[in-house]
Structure 1
Amino acid sequence: METYETNQKLQVRHHNAITNARHELSAVQLDIYFMMLSRLRPGDSKETRYSISVKEIEELTGRQWNYKQLREATAGLIGKVFEIEEEDGLLQVALMSSAKYLNGQGRIQLSIADELKPYLIDLKSNFTSFQLYCVLSMTSKYAKWMYVQFARWKDIGHLSYEVEQLRTRLNLKDPTGKNPEQYKQWGQFKDNVLEPAIKQINTSTDLRISYTVEKKGKAIHKLNFVIKSVAQFQTVIPFETAHETAEDSRLRERLRDIGILDTKLVRKVLDSTELRRKANKCLHDISLRRNKIDNPGGYFRTTLGI
């Protein structure tokens, strides 16, 4: 079973239905999911739609997803149901309620069931230092899922899983027994899943993971992971910047929408009253002339002279 040290302050990490759910998502689904998660804001209404740029995903991940792959991915996300135990009963809710592909814009407009938003926002708030770039830069779907687990407990420094529990969480073992098991033998699981995932986490993120094993008889029964944080060494795109105002967040979001991903450039705009004024005027012009501007990001840079 998953274990961690008990601490009253750390018990705010509830709502584990999302992070502890069985991992049944593909790499492209996880990329879309994390991009969507980064867009969430407290106070979002039922009508809020979350716009995801395909170009932005590709620039962040270094991978290209074709239209067919994206359609299959969002269809699967709409069909993915979480079960969450609430005080008055069991809630069954889809991870995503709709996806709309906007013609000629290279964007996907996503909506989330209103009942699920509090859980996702709570999850997001647990990752004030969660690095979106780290998750998106990894290619292994197992590494992506495991990084989230380790990031949640990095201040504790360790996390343990029974091997069979971890295999179930990674969707390698069907608890109902209907689907065949994958990488059933310890050597197969270690060589094809565990070691490659840890290698990607250690080389691509702000965490360093090591582990020891416990045996029950001759079989490997339990994995004890040690989690260490290292200094940030690469450009990251955080969910939000500390002390950033709602106005700052909205402007940052609008800049993302036109393809301005350079964090230093965005910070330069946010920190300058004059550049902020020019940026808002330019963004307004772009919104009015969207169909006539082929490269909004380039137009923005040229207009502001940066």
Structure 2
Amino acid sequence: MVSQWKKAGVMRISIIELKTRLRLYDPVTGEEKYVVWGDFNKRVLQVATREINACSDLHLKMFTHKDSRAISEIRFVIKVKQTVPVQEQPTPSELHKRLLVDFKHREDQIKFILDRYAAEVIHQKLYDITIHNNTKKITNIGAYTAKVFGVQ
């Protein structure tokens, strides 16, 4: 649903409209699931936002709008993550240089990785790490990469 609004960058929707689209509210019978805002926010909105941010090319931030005391509208700010294109398979020497310079590994760690994994697997894992780090949440890229490859 939010993917349709990625060019605009913002999606505004009322709580009732969103619940109707998610089939959590039936306008004919008036039956509603997650009547309490806290439950709806915690069990539906936060989970969906977290999954979209982790598994798609979008990054969402959610803001609420209140009418008096009740939350009546949600505004999603949508940003498209920059993706890194997959290139042709690098040679072991290129992987060595990339692990050393970009991912801050020591020589013994690089030797461990190059001995244990095929070049295609290393390249794919480094690509996945780069995509995962688009949000800059990984504070120590070397330690994170070492954990992914099982380096001690």
* TM-score bin, normalised by smaller chain: 0.5 to 0.7
Match of 2:10 among 149, 158, 162: 158
Cα distance change on mapping 1:233 and 1:173 into 2, 3 Å: farther
For 1:234 and 1:182, locate their aligned partners in 2 and report how far apart those are by CA, in whole Å: 42
Cα distance change on mapping 1:186 and 1:234 into 2, 3 Å: farther
Instruction: Say whether the 8 Å CA contact 1:206–1:233 is kept in structure 2.
Output: no
| Unpaired segments ≥5 residues, structure 2 | 87-152
For 1:169 and 1:206, locate their aligned partners in 2 and report how far apart those are by CA, in whole Å: 22
Match of 1:193 among 44, 67, 73: 44
SS in 1 for 2:63: strand
2:53 aligned partner: 202
1:232 aligned partner: 83
Measured against aligned partners, the alpha-carbon deviations of 1:58-113 in whole angstroms (never above 9, x if no partner) come to xxxxxxxxxxxxxxxxxxxxxxxxxxxxxxxxxxxxxxxxxxxxxxxxxxxxxxxx
- Please give the residue correspondences for 1:125-164 in structure 2 after superposition, counting only pairs within 5 Å: 149-164=1-16
CA-atom RMSD in angstroms: 1.7
- Identity, in percent, stands at 34
Measured against aligned partners, the alpha-carbon deviations of 1:175-227 in whole angstroms (never above 9, x if no partner) come to 1116x421111111001100000000000000000021110110001111100
One-letter code of the match for 2:35? Answer: K
| Unpaired segments ≥5 residues, structure 1 | 1-148, 236-306
One-letter code of the match for 1:159? Answer: M
Cα distance change on mapping 1:204 and 1:233 into 2, 3 Å: farther
1:232, CA displacement in angstroms? 2.5
SS in 2 for 1:168: helix
1:172 aligns with 2:33: no
Indicate the structure whose relative CO is greater, using CA pairs within 8 Å and at least 6 residues apart.
2
1:234, CA displacement in angstroms? 8.6
1:165, CA displacement in angstroms? 0.9
Measured against aligned partners, the alpha-carbon deviations of 1:134-156 in whole angstroms (never above 9, x if no partner) come to xxxxxxxxxxxxxxx22111111
SS in 2 for 1:182: coil
SS in 1 for 2:82: coil
**TM score, norm. by length of structure 2:** 0.53
Q: Which has the higher helix share?
A: 2
Number of aligned pairs?
A: 86
For 2:32 and 2:55, locate their aligned partners in 1 and report how far apart those are by CA, in whole Å: 29
Q: Which runs of 4+ in 1 moved over 3 A?
A: none
- Please give the residue correspondences for 1:156-305 in structure 2 after superposition, counting only pairs within 5 Å: 156-177=8-29, 180-232=31-83
Instruction: Say whether the 8 Å CA contact 1:160–1:224 is kept in structure 2.
Output: yes
**TM score, norm. by length of structure 1:** 0.27
- Please give the residue correspondences for 1:27-42 in structure 2 after superposition, counting only pairs within 5 Å: none
SS in 2 for 1:172: coil
